[in-house]
């Protein structure tokens, strides 16, 4: 258990839901709710003021939705990691959320232990995507990868290091890492090798 609790911001338009999720997560001991807000404007203000470690974001918010709000929160507090927690288990929302910068995507009926584990995972810099939704997303519509993500993922398929990928594509190593991270999230993979395999199997690269 972390000596310093992971500081959470809850963003949901229903106060009862925010209270219930917050109460469940604080039972974990290593998680602490520092902000609870009901709209995008409140989320941005709290993010800028409190710099929470993880933001649990709903999609359905009044006015500006949670996907657009994700980008706004990250602009206000770049170190904050966003975990979408929503009733809308739709592949299109998953892809849009990842593209906006979300590190995870879970549905609200997930068990409390799974939600807590997802919070810890995104706080650690990893991704936490609902497995069933990730699988459904793979079979739903066209490739979610951008042209540059396809290039980077193709170049990484043989296991070469980031430095060599960057040299081959005339990109910085940081840009390569960002594209790989996005591709991993969009494919629901655990790592870049799995992402390349999934993308190859689906005909995306």
* Cα-based angle 22, 24, 26 (whole degrees, multiple of 5): 65
Q: How confident is the model at residue 55 (pLDDT cuts 50, 70, 90)?
A: very high
> Quick one: fold of 142-201?
Arc Repressor Mutant, subunit A (1.10.10)
107, β-bridge pairs: 86
User: CA 62 to CA 40: how far, in whole Å?
Assistant: 8
Domain ranges of the chain: 6-137, 142-201
Give the N- to C-terminal CA distance of the chain in Å, as an integer. Answer: 41
pTM reported for the whole predicted model:
0.66
Shortest CA distance to 56 belongs to which of 3, 137, 110? 110
How many whole angstroms separate alpha carbon 101 and alpha carbon 113? 24
Structure confidence at residue 22 as a pLDDT band (50, 70, 90): very high
CA-to-CA separations, 69 to 48, 82, 103, in angstroms, rounded: 13, 10, 14
**6-137 classified as CATH 3.40.190.10:** no
**Could you report the per-residue pLDDT of 58-71, keeping only the tens digit for each?**
998 999 999 999 99
pLDDT band for position 133 (cuts 50, 70, 90): confident
């Amino acid at each position: 258990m972390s000596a310093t609790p992971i500081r959470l911001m809850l963003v949901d338009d229903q106060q009862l839901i925010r209270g219930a999720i917050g109460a469940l997560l604080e039972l974990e001991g290593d998680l602490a709710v520092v902000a609870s807000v009901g709209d995008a404007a409140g989320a941005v203000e709290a993010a800028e003021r409190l710099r929470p470690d993880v933001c649990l974001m709903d999609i359905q918010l009044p006015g500006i939705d949670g996907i657009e709000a994700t980008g706004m929160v990250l602009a206000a507090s770049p170190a904050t990691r966003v975990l979408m927690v929503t009733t809308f288990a739709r592949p299109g929302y998953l892809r849009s959320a990842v593209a906006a910068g979300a590190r995870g995507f879970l549905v609200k009926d997930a068990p409390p232990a799974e939600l807590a584990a997802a919070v810890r995972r995104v706080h650690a810099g990893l991704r936490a995507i609902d497995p069933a939704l990730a699988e459904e997303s793979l079979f739903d519509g066209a490739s979610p990868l951008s042209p540059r993500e396809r290039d980077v993922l193709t170049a990484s398929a043989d296991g070469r290091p980031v430095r060599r990928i960057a040299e081959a594509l005339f990109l910085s190593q940081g840009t390569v890492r960002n594209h790989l991270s996005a591709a991993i999230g969009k494919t629901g993979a655990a790592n870049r090798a799995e992402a390349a395999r999934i993308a190859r199997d689906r005909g995306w690269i």
